[in-house]
Amino acid sequence: VPEWFVRETADATHDVRSPELRWGLNPQVFSHGWELPARHRGEDGRTGEGIPADARSKPGSGGQLIAFVPSLDLVITRQTGSSGNWQFEEYLRRACAAVLPP
């Protein structure tokens, strides 16, 4: 992932402070259409605990996901058909934990 893109997506691209309307999420998790998953605070059952601060993710329809974590030199994808409700952050958390030293 290019360094300029990592820098550009490091912070929210707006100054909105009220919860996002659809799911009541912290609006500061959104940057250029990407999410900063470490900033989730438990809204809608989503928490950023255990996710590196520099992670970015983009959930898609049908349970798809693309994410990258520059500090771990890690890119993660999940390609699937509709598979029911699942937690994007838990998938990302486990992928990050799998590449961290014991």
Residue 83: its pLDDT value, please?
A: 62
pTM, 2 dp: 0.83
Handedness of CA 12, 9, 44, 97 (dihedral sign): negative
The C-alpha atoms of residue 83 and residue 80 are separated, in whole angstroms, by: 7
- pLDDT of 84 reads 65
Sign of CA pseudo-dihedral 46, 47, 50, 52: positive
pLDDT at 87: 81
Q: How confident is the model at residue 25, as a pLDDT?
A: 82
Q: How far is residue 92's CA from residue 65's CA, in Å, rounded to a whole number? A: 9
Which residues in the chain land under pLDDT 70? 82-84
pLDDT tens, residue by residue, 35-61: 999 998 887 788 899 999 999 999 887
Q: Give the pLDDT score at 63.
A: 79
**Helix, strand or coil for residue 12?**
coil
Question: Residue 87: helix, strand or coil by DSSP?
Answer: coil
Domain positions in the chain are 3-99
